[in-house]
Structure 1
Amino acid sequence: MTDLKLPQLPDRNPVKLSIAVMPDLHQALIDYAALYAATYGRDEPVAELIPAMLAAFLESDRSFARNRTKR
């Protein structure tokens, strides 16, 4: 087997999740999308922003990262 610098790529098939949120959270997400559009001059649907928001949240949670690496 060859020693490549690039490791095998992880599974990149998206997993679809369906969730229900309370009306106040839904409004907050709409407000966030509006602020995003005003900031970057580009409209993005809430459904496109949520995965990035969740990833940013998980990456910023030090306790989660610490405990996740212990597995």
Structure 2
Amino acid sequence: MKWPLSKKMETSLLTCVIHKGEKLKMYCLDHSQLCCSKCFELNHSQCSKVTQISELTNSQPTGLEGL
């Protein structure tokens, strides 16, 4: 089912709150957090269970439906 969201809202939900402008691309199971590339480099590089969001959805995300 598709959610009726504006493009601005969708972009806001898919963007890292710490590193403005960076897209959320990974999920750290160790910390139960979504993270961008910069978050991964700074805080999650030693974590054992970091997975690309696209792998978790078994497809390439095309928007919020992919998450």
Fold shared, TM-score > 0.5 on shorter chain:
no
Relative to its length, the structure with more helix (as a share) is 1
The structure with higher relative contact order (CA 8 Å, sep 6+) is 2
TM-score (norm 2): 0.30
